[in-house]
Amino acid sequence: MTLINPIYVGDDALANLLRYCADKQLTRFTLVSDTNTQRALGARVTDALRAAGYQVIPIVLDGDEVIADERYLTTVLVNAPLEPSVFLAVGAGTLTDITRFISHRMGRQFISLPTAPSVDGFTSIGAPLVLNLVKHTIVSQAPIALFADLTTLREAPHRLIAAGYGDMIGKITSLADWHLGSVVWDEPFDAAIFKRSEEAIERCIRSTETIGQQSPEGVRHLIEALIDSGLCMLDFGDSRPASGAEHHASHYWEMLLLQQRRPAALHGAKVGFALTLVARQYARIRALSHAEVRQRLAAATLPAREAEVAAVRQGYGIVADDVVRAHAPFLNMTQAQFDTIKQRIDERWDAIQQIAAKVPPPEQIVGYLERVGAPTSGAALGLSDDEVARGLEYGHYLRSRFTVMKLSRVLGLPLS
């Protein structure tokens, strides 16, 4: 179980941080923020710690769009002191991931101080980084403590709150894909963690109206659900409880936009929209009879490796080699392994249908997103119809996991 202690959400985050530092005899800090989060919270944290006699070295990242890539990772690494200090991540997902990775590689601990309830990564162990224009999740470390100032979270731009909601309910299909992968591909699974994540999603959905209103109650429910989701990843040891086909499509779009030097929409906004498309795929699964599935399985053939590699190169361009390496377990699948997958789909079709039945219809999910003001179209994210379709066609290559998109390919179903 998690060792993050305390996890505080409320109006006295700074006072609780100061008490914690005194109790733990922490005196030196490296604070990582950007120009926005420094204004929102970082300056107050710095002033409060210095007033208490502590040493604070601020690293304020600038730029219109801070990305967890080589540029910003190097900036933090170069400016971080060599002397022992505790890192403070003052920001949302990107700043937390940068701080998580650098502090881990430097052998330092870090404390999370969220400024917006926009992602679920505050308490997780993985750091999603963009390396050589490819999205990787690097195992790093969780924070030793988290202090979330509720007033700061409520005052965050509404698009960040809507993105957090999209990221959170995106776990609807994350969980479905996780369960599906365990049934068909023997992926690791934990029923207790699955249940915890499911309950966090349900609490968030019940709070849809108050989250959309940006009320204290709604924002508290959202950040607590996001924190719980991160803890599920931390306790399980990887991102399966919170990342499925909807995240893979989102990652593909992010990489595409970065390669073309176009503004990338918020992670949670992309995930929420992708959720509606993946939910549509589960609706297609629900509509299949067992007899039709058997006909489709009889016609299914193992994709040729050369054709699959060519598809990766078509979809990923200059970063294709990295994706080919990541997807090796599927690219190198033998005929015997493919036949086993087909046999399991046939024999376990009732279980697959039970998984699909838990995914709400796409129209219902669109309604949830609209009620909080989250994007529900590719155009709202700056994506063309062709780019949206490519996210579904190529996104699954990013991770060696058996999702509904891979199931759809075996069954010969359309992916868009």
Q: Mark out the alpha helices in 80-120 (DSSP H runs).
A: 93-105
pTM to 2 decimals? 0.94
Distance from C-alpha of 238 to C-alpha of 134, rounded to nearest angstrom: 18
The tens digit of pLDDT for each residue in 279-325 reads 999 999 999 999 999 999 999 999 999 999 999 999 999 889 999 99
Task: For the chain, list the domains and their CATH numbers.
Answer: 7-156 (3.40.50.1970), 161-411 (1.20.1090.10)
Residue corresponding to tokens 């990305």: 67
Q: The tokens of 395 are what?
A: 């996104």
Distance from C-alpha of 106 to C-alpha of 93, rounded to nearest angstrom: 20
The confidence score (pLDDT) of residue 248 equals 97
Task: Give the distance from CA 167 to its chain's centroid.
Answer: 7
Task: Give the distance from CA 347 to its chain's centroid.
Answer: 32
User: Is the bond preceding residue 128 a cis peptide, omega within 30 degrees?
Assistant: no
The tens digit of pLDDT for each residue in 349-397 reads 999 999 999 999 999 999 999 999 999 999 999 999 999 999 999 999 9
**Nearest alpha carbon to residue 353 among 180, 169, 196, 198:** 180
The confidence score (pLDDT) of residue 33 equals 98
Residue 263 φ then ψ, to 5°: -60, 135
**339 with 346: CB under 8 angstroms?**
no
Average pLDDT over residues 213-222: 97
Reduced to 3 states (helix: H, G, I; strand: E, B; else coil), residue 238 is coil
Distance from C-alpha of 315 to C-alpha of 252, rounded to nearest angstrom: 9
Residue corresponding to tokens 């503004």: 263
Residue corresponding to tokens 């050589």: 132
**Nearest alpha carbon to residue 338 among 414, 411, 236:** 411
Dihedral angle computed from the Cα positions of residues 292, 290, 197 and 414, in that order, rounded to the nearest 10 degrees:
0
Check the CA dihedral 385-389-394-396 and report its sign.
Answer: positive
**Nearest alpha carbon to residue 247 among 398, 361, 96, 116:** 398
Distance from C-alpha of 318 to C-alpha of 295, rounded to nearest angstrom: 38
The tens digit of pLDDT for each residue in 254-266 reads 999 988 989 888 9
Check the CA dihedral 44-154-174-374 and report its sign.
Answer: negative
Q: The tokens of 209 are what?
A: 């109206």
Residue 195 φ then ψ, to 5°: -65, -40
The confidence score (pLDDT) of residue 387 equals 97
Write the DSSP symbol of residue 332.
T
The confidence score (pLDDT) of residue 304 equals 96
Which residues have C-beta within 8 Å of that of residue 255, sequence separation ≥ 6?
130, 133, 134, 135, 316, 319
Distance from C-alpha of 271 to C-alpha of 251, rounded to nearest angstrom: 9
Distance from C-alpha of 154 to C-alpha of 242, rounded to nearest angstrom: 24
Residue corresponding to tokens 């909601």: 165
Distance from C-alpha of 182 to C-alpha of 187, rounded to nearest angstrom: 4
Reduced to 3 states (helix: H, G, I; strand: E, B; else coil), residue 115 is coil
| Per-residue pLDDT at 1 exceeds 50 | no
Average pLDDT over residues 170-183: 98
The b-or-e profile of 182-191 (16+ CB within 10 A means b, else e) is bbbbebeebe
